[in-house]
Amino acid sequence: MKWFFKIFILILMMNSETSAQEITVFPGFWGQKYYVNSDRISVNDVGTLMKEVPVADAYWRRSKTQMSGAWVAVGAQFGFLFWQINKLKNGESGSTQLVGNIACGVIGIGLSLASNNSRQKAILSYNKLIKKKGDQSYYFEPASTGLGIGMKF
């Protein structure tokens, strides 16, 4: 019986997880914080990891493009704001600039939310494929002769 436990322990050690770990995201004050295991990684490191999975990389690049568009919209919004302030200062009507200001704000918020959605999809796609590649888990499962230990690939 002792040899059975020794072999079982040896099999468990040989089948330990050697694949990449999942990416975890937590919201922070200045943006999202990314972790692999308990180690914090930068956004550039996440981008490098995403290149391993084509679907996740496509979502990640789309997220970066959408966020760039959001920043352009915010810049245009500030332009409309200053233009509107200048018009009002000179005693002219600033209704056109107000419409542009509001439209750029809505576009910026929409693109920012779309960017966060694409970023979530990228991380979920990455984690899903990493689990498929090499995660193994041990679990108890009913067998015909009683309770046994199963290994899930």
For 93-129, what is each residue's pLDDT tens digit?
888 999 999 999 999 999 999 999 999 999 999 988 8
Q: Residues 6 or more apart from 9 whose CB is under 8 A from it?
A: none
* Mean pLDDT, range 81-95, rounded to an integer: 90
When computed from its CA atoms, the radius of gyration of the chain, rounded to whole angstroms, is 26
Token pair 């995403």 is found at 50
pTM of the model: 0.68
* Mean pLDDT, range 18-43, rounded to an integer: 82
Angle at CA of residue 111, ends 106 and 113, nearest 5°: 95
The pLDDT assigned to 130 comes to 75
pLDDT band at 16 (very low <50, low <70, confident <90, very high): very low
Cα separations (Å) of 136 from 17, 19, 125, 150? Answer: 7, 9, 18, 10
Instruction: State the CB neighbour count (10 A cutoff) for residue 118.
Output: 20
Q: Is 111 helix (H, G, I), strand (E, B) or coil?
A: helix
